[in-house]
Chains A and B, each alone.
Chain A
């Protein structure tokens, strides 16, 4: 497209709000933490893989929480793991978002019967988008990411109270 535009708009200005530009930047480069606790992590891996290709939406994985914007809680959260996930979340720099992937991290899922499983990661950290499924298909997780992007697009980050 830029060939058609070349030399046509030499000094055009675009008007928008700072919030909109910030949001656009954020939603187009949601880097997620390479982290999974259980079965859903395998589907997360496939979602990042060649077929579902999460990279299309600007989401690539990072190994360190300090470089990530998005925490995808993929899998069962046990009591022993819950405090570690909270710590990972706290290490991430603002603005940060959380997708809860799969029944286990939504509400305990199958392991509601167990004695060692946290019934929902939202008891520990705030969650932006819940993706249902056991495990959610890669398409479902992709949809979850798109929903999160829409959510970010509407944010009024600067207008927010400090």
Chain B
């Protein structure tokens, strides 16, 4: 498919303004898009963000370092573990703290499980946006199983507050390993079922093939990260290329979009990368469960955390792209400034560039395939 060229036919037609959101089932949260339409073709698109600006960064300045942890859950609530993980890492970096091996393994296990559940939500809602309702129900059914696993670990289903500065809050329960492996065993056939329903569905494929292509150059220029970047054919994954935690000790592949049904970087590629990533995450969890050593789960940390004055930046690979925390400390028990950089923010900034020339139904595919989420944009 190709974007449309807008030509003035001289019929005296006018462009129309259209508001999409903030309450709209396919904007994935409270985001508004102001569209200028020529018939059904988009002439220009303007994202209006800030409907979920909860002043998380400012709240960080009012709380002590450990007290801020629950707020990181809310930066990206679909992948709260990954956000906990990133924040714990940046404080540890500032304090030059060593984390016990077992804790690192547990962190990677929960982060990857959370990645699977986040991608399930992503592909499920994406199918729903395109008009396939059933796969959505399959996806959230499977997501409940991951919720059960994480609930067993920390008692929460969505906002875990599980990773601590210097380790993790709880050790793995006795039956965790069996249950996790039992889940992973069922995940493979379920993904297959999901593929039959959605990925191989002809309507779904034709709706997405070649639609809203993001070229390699554009993706890099706009700072798009994560699965969206890999969907555009850029082979870059922090877990492999800038390894942290115990990722160097496990083997996994980095799926990259290859234009399976249309062009490299189209909406289908971004979707397909996520499906593949779930399989890779399952592999990582399996290896971690095998290799995890015995030992303590918390480093020895002082009662009141007072990192030395200075700053630190750390980025990790979250399900929606790179999650960066920049932390400035003035030597007191509260951060002086915390800046959070998220993948969705970059992803939403490229929408105005890609949208013109596509039909409004393709815009839904674009937004869904970028998997943007409101709290990550607004914070």
Contacts and interface: CB of A to CB of B under 8 A. Distances in A.
Which has the most chain A C-beta neighbours within 10 Å: B22, B54, B143, B144?
Answer: B54
Interface stretch (A16-24, A77-85, A120-128): A77-85
Interface in A51-98: 51, 63, 65, 75-76, 78, 80-81, 84, 88
Contacts of B143: 46
Contact of B59 (A34, A84, A88, A114): A114
A76 B54 contact: yes
A84 B144 contact: no
A48 to B, nearest CB: 8
B58 A114 contact: yes
A137 interface: yes
B52 A42 contact: no
A43 B158 contact: yes
A45 B28 CA distance: 12
A65 to B, nearest CB: 8
Interface residues of B, number: 34
Given A38-B375, A41-B29, A80 B53 contact: yes
B77 A42 contact: yes
Interface in B24-70: 25, 29-30, 50-56, 58-59, 62-63, 70
A33 B25 CA distance: 10
Given A34-B25, A35-B23, A37-B30, A81 B51 contact: yes
A50 interface: yes
A155 interface: no
Interface in B6-24: 22-23
Interface in B133-167: 137, 140-141, 143-144, 147, 157-159
Given A42-B78, A43-B157, A46-B143, A113 B51 contact: no
Interface string B71-99: 10110011000000000000000000000
Contacts of A135: 157-159
Nearest to B140: A49
B72 to A, nearest CB: 11
Interface residues of A toward B: which range?
20 to 34
A117 B54 contact: yes
B121 interface: yes
A115 interface: yes
Nearest to A134: B159
Contact of B55 (A49, A111, A137): A111
A111 B68 CA distance: 12
Contact of A49 (B25, B74, B144, B375): B144
B275 interface: no
Interface in B109-143: 121, 137, 140-141, 143
Interface in B310-364: none
B58 A110 contact: no
Interface of B: 22-23, 25, 29-30, 50-56, 58-59, 62-63, 70-71, 73-74, 77-78, 121, 137, 140-141, 143-144, 147, 157-159, 374-375
**A-B complex: 3 closest residue pairs judged by Cβ atoms:** A114-B55, A39-B77, A49-B140
21 contacts: A37-B51, A37-B374, A38-B375, A39-B158, A42-B121, A43-B158, A46-B140, A49-B137, A49-B140, A49-B141, A49-B144, A50-B141, A50-B144, A81-B51, A84-B22, A84-B23, A114-B54, A115-B58, A116-B53, A116-B55, A137-B157
